[in-house]
Structure 1
Amino acid sequence: MSRYDRQMRLPEIGPEGQARLARARVLVAGAGGLGAALLPLLAGAGVGRITLYDPDTVDESNLHRQTLYRMSDLGRPKAQVAAETLAALNPECRIVPRCAPLLSDSAAAALAEADLVIDAADRVTATYVLSDLCLTANTPFISAAVTGRAGHVGGFCGGAPSYRAVFPELPPVLTSCDAAGVMGPVVATLGALQAQMALTVLLGLAPSPLGQMLTLDLASWRIGGFRFDTAPEPDTAGPEILAASQLLPSDLVIDLRSCDEAPVPASPRAQRLPEGGLSELQGAPGQRVVFACATGLRAWRAAEKVRAAGRLTAVLAT
């Protein structure tokens, strides 16, 4: 019995499908709760190469849901530990760990070597960056988000509408697992759904999960979903999302965080903007204004207001 015998028995996979998986190159952003569920499934299925980006180290508070890690891994880089664990699971799968965030300055080059991109990170700014790049490159993009006992997962780009077509605006409030809490099983469920969507796309099976959204609410035991194949792309692109390395000398950089919130500003030349100071913002005509904040929400809102006034704007992903 070969390693892949059980899935190769499916007539829609067989030896040809298994060979497709062996040739596949997948880019994954995030080795947290979602990544801990989806990564072993991709490696176990025989995906040939997985490039994994994550800047964090293993913390004890991760272990209730991030099942790739053990107490002996505390303090070690998640990407490196995940690569070692997955290599032990399937030596035929090449894991390339990158102990860094996948930001707009590194994502374009990384995406050029990928057949599919999976967003398992916990920063919504990264989701928009990856979706924008995947839309331009016509690369399939699988993204999920979870908080508490609920979340969603969808297939975007690669011939389907982008993430911005479904979510043109940020939500009124951004929450995180650290702030709002989360249960492990719902994270694992959504991560497994990401893996199933990814394998379906790589195998070219029908119907495609691209253009499909699934919602999961395990607080009320409701599972839903809808197709968004005909969702139009926004008439105008939202704020551009940058990494610090993409700042230009001519940019007007505004850090919306207080000195207490962020003693070190986003850039050495960043200005602090007092509450309600947008109306007094000064700058040269046509100058790009770059806003920074903790989550991207305040920066996005400020950029939208300044853009409405005819200024070039961007959001700095700190």
Structure 2
Amino acid sequence: MKTPLVGPGPELSADQRARYSRHLLLPEIGEVGQRRLLAARVLVVGAGGLGSPALLYLAAAGIGTIGVVDDDVVDTSNLQRQVAHGTPDVGRPKVDSAADAVARLNPTVTVHRHRERLDAGNALDLLSRYDLVLDGSDTFATRYLVNDACVLSGLPWVWGAVLRFDGHVSVFDGAEGPTYRDLFPTEPPPGTVPGCGEAGVLGGVCAAIAATMVTEAVKLITGAGRPLLGRVLVHDALAVSWREVPLRPDPRRAAVTGLGALPSVGAAALIAATADGGGPVVVDVREPHEHAEAAVPGSVLLPLARVLADPGLLPPGPLVLHCARGSRSAQALAAALAAGRGDVAHLEGGIAAWVAAGGPTTTG
């Protein structure tokens, strides 16, 4: 049993006793534990495949304050697994759709909407407002950022990841155990690990991993049970198996002293820079059919696979790379930087952010 992360809040009301009656029956939680949950402040990074179901279970559990940070909008392809959003929400900011879903489920929960991308500039400020972080992001860059920000802030965090039929969960706390950098000391080479947008994911796997993440959060907040510190839980849905992998701190790991970030540019800044036909060359690393549906005017199409195979194919001069949301362009940028290019950045939030900021598009 670990020391509870959060102190208990006020005595429960009659309505709260009725709502959380099944928790009160659990000796490991009980009334004091529920008061801790009601006093807790949890930040969820990403309102997608993992963050979406996690938000609902956190709200149902009575987490008093939930923050959700996401700069994306709901897309039809999200609805197969991102259960906080529905068909009428397509095109809406995910933070708004998720907040509405939480309000329908438990209107007593306070939701703070952070419609922005977590980056080195805002991470420490955002984390300072919360007791615990649940990371449902889908890029290694964001996970390293969450890890380093949590280490610097002294916060524990719950990590989850899914791909195809597989999932992973662990708890990291730099003060007493291994961190994410002990599990993945360096980021995998660009292009070696596909995302869900390229490889797919079963919606039920997202639910299973998110539920486990919330269970770990509840345990950390209340002090119940034994958290997944120093252990990585691996789920194989096709084999219907769960196995545990031990994880220990690496004594050679460098201490976290600050936050780094890939060079990036915001949509509004790029729109202004290219308004008169000047500015950097914009390179679209999406696939041809995506480029044909909506493209930044004057952009050069160079799919990610070609960039990863030969970064020398990138045009000379200052460049801004973009994809749909920012994941693939981050991979392309890492490859360009590794090849020695120093005049390249990528568009935060991809073409979705460009459109949301009022940027023009072409088709065909």
TM range (shorter): 0.7 to 0.9
How many residue pairs align between the two structures?
A: 288
Whether the 8 Å CA contact 2:265–2:346 is kept in 1: the answer is no
Percentage of matched positions with identical amino acids: 34
1:211 corresponds, among 230, 238, 253, to 230
Structure 2 segments unaligned to the other structure (5+ residues): 1-16, 267-280, 287-297, 301-306, 313-319, 323-327, 349-364
Question: What amino acid is aligned across from residue 49 of structure 2 in structure 1?
Answer: G
Partner residue of 2:139? Answer: 123
Secondary structure at the aligned position of 2:50 is classed as helix
Question: Counterpart of 1:63 in structure 2: which amino acid?
Answer: L
Is structure 2 residue 257 aligned with structure 1 residue 241?
Answer: no
Kept in 2: contact 1:33–1:66 (CA 8 A): yes
Q: TM-score, normalised by structure 2?
A: 0.69
Instruction: Tell me the equivalent position of 1:144.
Output: 160
1:104 aligns with 2:120: yes
Task: Give the 3-state SS of the residue equivalent to 1:69 in structure 2.
Answer: coil
Shift of 1:104: 1.8
* Structure 2 CA distance for partners of 1:90 and 1:153, relative to 1, 3 Å: same
Structure 1 residues 130-176: Cα deviation after superposition (integer angstroms, max 9, x where no partner): 10111122201111111111121111125322111110122341311
The residue matched to 2:58 in structure 1 has which SS? helix
Deviations 1:101-147 (A, max 9, x none): 22221111000111111111222211100101111222011111111
Q: What is the one-letter code of the residue matched to 1:41?
A: Y
Q: CA deviation at 1:239?
A: 9.2
In the alignment, which of 63, 66, 85 is matched to residue 79 of structure 2?
63
Whichever residue aligns with residue 163 of structure 1, its letter is: Y
Q: Which residue of structure 2 aligns with residue 78 of structure 1?
A: 94
Does structure 2 retain, via aligned residues, the 8 Å contact 1:241–1:315? no
* Structure 2 equivalent of residue 223 of structure 1: 242
**Does 2:213 correspond to 1:194?**
yes
Matched, 1:184 2:208: no
Normalising by the residue count of structure 1, what TM-score does the alignment of the two structures yield?
0.79
Deviation at 1:221, TM superposition (A): 3.0
Structure 2 residue 201 is matched with structure 1 residue 161? no
Instruction: Please report how far the alpha carbon of residue 205 of structure 1 lies from its aligned counterpart in structure 2 after TM superposition.
Output: 2.2
Give ranges in structure 1 of 5+ residues lacking alignment: 247-256, 266-271, 278-290, 307-311
1:33 partner SS: coil
Is the Cα–Cα contact under 8 Å of residues 243 and 317 in structure 1 kept in the other structure? no
* Counterpart mapping for 1:284-295 below 5 A: 294-295=328-329
Check the 8 A contact 1:7/1:14 in 2, yes or no: yes
CA–CA separation in structure 1 for the residues paired with 2:151 and 2:187: 18
Q: Is the 2:264–2:345 contact (alpha carbons within 8 Å) kept by the matching residues of 1? A: no
Displacement of 1:298: 4.9
1:72-126: CA deviation from partner (whole Å, max 9, x where unpaired): 1111111101101101211221011122222221111000111111111222211
